[in-house]
Structure 1
Amino acid sequence: MAPATRGASLKRRVRSLGGGLIRRMGLLPGGVPDRNGDDARLATQRLDAEVLVFFADTEDGLYQLRQWYAPLAALDGRHQIAVITADSRTAALIRAETGFEVVTVARYATLDGLLARSDVRLVLYVNHNPENFSMLRFASVAHVSLLHGDSDKVVSVSNQAKAYDFSYVAGRAAIDRMARYLPLFDAEHRCVVIGRPQLDDALALVAERPAPAPEQRRTVLYAPTWEGAQPSAAYGSVDTLGEAVVAALLAEPDLRVIYRPHPLTGVRLAAYGEADAAIRRRIEEARTASPSAGHAVSTSGELMVDLAAADLLVCDVSAVAMDWLVTGRPLVVTEPAGPEVVTAATPLLDAAARIGVGTLGEVVSVVRRELDDDPRRAQRETLAEYYLGDLRPGAATEAFLDACDATIAAHRAASAR
Structure 2
Amino acid sequence: MSGARASWRRRFQLWLIGRLRSSRVWPAGLADKRTDLDRLGQRLPASVMVFFGSSVDALYQLRPWLPALSNLNEMHPVSLVFRDSRVAGQVRAESGLDCITLSTYGQLDQILSVSDVKLALYVNPDPINFESLRFTSLIHVYLGHGDSDKGVSVSNQVKAYDYCFLAGQAAIDRTSSSVMAYDAVARSVLIGQPQLDAPPVTGHPDPARPTILYAPTWEGSQPSVSYGSAITHGHEVVTTLKDAYRVIYRPHPLSGVADAEYGQADAALREIADRVDTDVTLEQSFADADLLITDVSAVTLNWLPTGKPVMVTESTAPKPPSPLMQALPLLSADADVAAAVRLHLETDPTADARRTMIEHYLGDTTPGVATARFIQACTSLIEQRDAQWAAQQAQGATGP
Shorter-chain-normalised TM-score: which range?
Answer: over 0.9
In structure 2, give the amino acid aligned to 1:118: S
Deviation at 1:229, TM superposition (A): 1.1
Find out whether 1:123 has 2:120 as its counterpart.
yes
Distance in 1 between the 2:174 and 2:81 partners? 30
Deviation at 1:19, TM superposition (A): 3.1
Q: Which runs of 5+ in 1 are unaligned?
A: 284-294
Task: Identify the match of residue 94 of structure 2 among 92, 97, 101.
Answer: 97
How far apart, CA to CA, are the structure 1 residues paired with 2:3 and 2:184? 52
- Helix, strand or coil: the match of 1:371? helix
Q: Which amino acid aligns with 1:348?
A: L
Give me the whole-angstrom Cα distance separating, in 2, the residues matched to 1:54 and 1:136: 10
Structure 1 residues 8 and 166, CA gap change in structure 2 (3 angstroms): farther
**1:157 match:** 154
How far off is 1:227 after superposition? 1.1
Instruction: State the partner residue of 2:194.
Output: 197
The residue number in structure 2 matching 1:180 is 177
Identity percentage of aligned residues = 46
> Contact 1:26/1:34 (CA < 8 Å) preserved in 2?
no
Task: Describe how 1:229-378 pairs up with structure 2 within 5 A.
Answer: 229-252=221-244, 255-283=245-273, 295-337=274-316, 341-359=317-335, 362-378=336-352
In 1, distance between residues paired with 2:299 and 2:35? 34
> Which amino acid in the other structure matches residue 399 of structure 1?
R
Shift of 1:7: 11
- Matched AA of 1:276: D
Q: TM-score, normalised by structure 2?
A: 0.92
Q: Describe the superposition over 1:279-326 as per-residue Cα deviations: whole angstroms up to 9, x where unpaired.
A: 11112xxxxxxxxxxx31111131012112221110000000011110
Aligned-pair CA distance for 1:112: 1.5
DSSP-derived class of the 2:96 partner = coil
- 1:113 corresponds in structure 2 to 110
RMSD: 2.2
Tell me the equivalent position of 2:384.
410
The CA deviation at 1:264 is 1.2
2: CA distance, partners of 1:238 / 1:369: 23
In structure 2, relative to structure 1, the CA distance for the partners of 1:78 and 1:251 (3 Å cut) is same
Contact preservation (8 Å) 1:42, 1:110: no
Q: Which residue of 2 aligns with 1:289?
A: none
Residue of structure 1 equivalent to 2:21: 23
Measure, in 1, the Cα distance between the counterparts of 2:68 and 2:231: 34
3-state SS in 1 of match to 2:213: strand
* Contact 2:304 2:354 (C-alpha < 8 Å) held by counterparts: yes
Q: Which residue identity lines up with residue 227 of structure 2 in the other structure? A: Y
Secondary structure in structure 2 of the residue aligned to 1:143? strand
Whether 1:390 aligns to 2:376 is no
Give the aligned residue type for 1:234: S
**Which residue number corresponds to residue 163 of structure 2?**
166
| Native 8 Å contact 1:49 1:82 kept in 2 | yes
The runs of 5 or more residues in structure 2 that have no matched partner are: 392-400
- CA distance in 2 between counterparts of 1:26 and 1:132 reads 27
- Deviations for 1:326-377, whole angstroms, at most 9, x for unmatched residues? 011111000115xxx2223411111111112232xx1111111111111111
Q: Give the match's secondary structure for 2:248.
A: strand
Report the Cα offset of residue 393 of structure 1: 1.4
SS of 2:149's partner is coil
Instruction: Supply the AA of the counterpart residue of 1:367.
Output: V
Please name the residue that 1:286 is paired with: none
Work out whether residues 52 and 83 of structure 2, in 8 Å CA contact, stay in contact via their aligned partners in 1.
yes
Alignment of 1:141 onto 2:104: no
Residues 14/231 of structure 1: CA separation in 2 closer, same or farther (3 Å cut): farther
Query: More deviation in 298-307 or 6-15?
Result: 6-15
Q: Which residue of 2 aligns with 1:52?
A: 49
CA displacement at 1:24 relative to structure 2: 3.1
Report deviation, 1:248: 0.5
In the alignment, residue 254 of structure 2 is paired with which amino acid? L
Higher helix share: 1
SS in structure 1 at match of 2:141: strand
SS in 2 for 1:187: coil
- Contact residue 121 and residue 141 of structure 1 kept, 8 A: yes
Compare 402-411 and 88-97 and name the one that shifted more: 88-97
Residue 209 of structure 1 and its aligned partner are, at CA, apart by: 6.0
Amino acid at match of 2:33: R
2:265 partner SS: helix
SS state at 2:211 partner: strand
Q: Distance in 2 between matches of 1:356 and 1:178?
A: 27
Q: Is the 8 A contact 1:152 1:343 kept in 2?
A: yes
Superposed displacement of residue 187, structure 1: 0.4
Q: Quote the Cα distance in structure 2 between the aligned partners of 1:156 and 1:124.
A: 17
